[in-house]
Amino acid sequence: MCHAFFDSASFYRELYQFDQAIAAEVGAAGCPHCGAKLHVANYPRKPRGIRGVLGPSYQLRLSFCCARDGCRRRTTPPSMRFLGRKVYLGIIVILVTAVEHGVCSAHRHRLIESLDLWSQTMARWRQWWRGGFMGSRCWREARGRFMPPVDASRLPGALLGRLVGPDTAHRCRLLLRLLTPVTTTSWTGSVRGVIDPQKM
């Protein structure tokens, strides 16, 4: 599995553009709780691992809050950059756990070392894939699209391998898109209208 795109600034700019498109649709729809206008209320993030190629846009998670007194509830759009509250970016969580089944131990060790990852962190990620993710509505809805079924014991590598695209970067974008429902708990709509897989 080639990860030549992993430290590519253009790859991360593209993910940010997808997040902007998602946020624009969520913001235009208004508060999902009361229908009032949403105000921009981005909040800071400090992603670990590869900050050098990210740029200042990765220091913010795009978010909104309701403008109506009495509601003021936060609405955080789904993201193709941030995997919920995890301090590492979604792409890192995907690739590091996926390489367990597809890369030689020396390459895997270099990747882990370059990201300054702890073994406990990786164990939590593996547990999330086999527990939290498999129990999510996102996975329950997505798994039916794959025939034969994806080997859940080899997530996310098995899922990444089943996605169709010209290269690993494209398949990673598709997987990040698939994961968007699990990246937020304050918005439950669909991002299908703003992300066209054919244009990724």
The tens digit of pLDDT for each residue in 131-164 reads: 889 999 889 888 888 889 998 888 998 898 889 8
For residue 74, the model assigns a pLDDT of 96
The tens digit of pLDDT for each residue in 22-37 reads: 999 999 999 999 999 9
pTM for the structure as a whole: 0.87
For residue 153, the model assigns a pLDDT of 86
CA 122 centroid distance within chain: 16
- Rounded to the nearest integer, the mean pLDDT of the chain is 85
For residue 101, the model assigns a pLDDT of 58
Domain ranges, ordered by start, for the chain: 9-184
The tens digit of pLDDT for each residue in 83-119 reads: 988 889 999 899 888 876 555 566 667 777 777 788 8
